Amino acid sequence: MKITITATLFLALLLGSCSTSKLIGNGSYSDLSLNVDSDKYEIKRLETLSVSSSSVFGIPKKRAKTNGMVVRFNGVSLNQSGRALPILTILASSVGIGYLLNQAAGKRPDKVIGCGVDYWNGSGWSQGPVCGDGGDKLPVGAGIALAVPVALMLNNFIYSRSAQSIALQNLNSQLLQKNPNVDVFLNPKYDIKTKLGLFNQTATVKANVMGATLKTN
């Protein structure tokens, strides 16, 4: 039990105020060559987009109804972030840690006085009461209940980028919806700010993107 409390306090100090800020720009590689003739494409800087997202226990809160994906878009590798896997991880961690706590606590000593000792009954020796199992000091159910807060914190740490992943997906969805006439998106610059707490996390992503539209005339 002392080990669990110590580990919990350590995690609280470790994850209590963790925030990051990233600026991501495009390198030399581009989906659309910058050497194309200007008479073929019209290239312009698109409206700056800003999207915020959050998650609790590593489980994303909000996701755009329409999934956004820009194929071979430079700068950030998008990973799909769902809800099913983090929930399953919480359940598995709670049960696993709860069982370990149950085993670490051990068994209660038997309360039967004189168990396993033969005694004189006045006419002969009789077998004393059999020593039994005093039961678990910490039942499995109680161990799981104690393990839930630790499992929630661990899950939030394991899926520490779930809010950022959802924010990026939602940003791409907005990018496609607000610019239906753009044929190619290129040269993105990202400003990503994330904050990781004990049980929750937030992410804000700003993007400046250029769009190329194929001239039809």
Percent of the chain past pLDDT 70, that is, above it, reads 62
Q: How far apart are the first and last CA of the chain?
A: 75
Which range has the worst mean pLDDT, 95-104, 112-121, 156-165? Answer: 112-121
What are 141-152's pLDDT values in tens digits?
999 999 999 999
What are 84-93's pLDDT values in tens digits?
888 899 999 9
Q: Residue written as tokens 């168990």? A: 115
Q: Residue written as tokens 């077998």? A: 127
Structural domain spans, the chain: 18-81+160-217, 82-158
Residue 132's identity, in one-letter code, is: G
Band the pLDDT of 118: cuts 50, 70, 90.
low
pLDDT of residue 133: 62
The pTM score is 0.66
In DSSP terms, which residues pair with 138 in a beta bridge?
none
- Sorted by sequence, the CB contacts under 8 Å of residue 36 that are 6+ apart come out as none
pLDDT of residue 212: 83
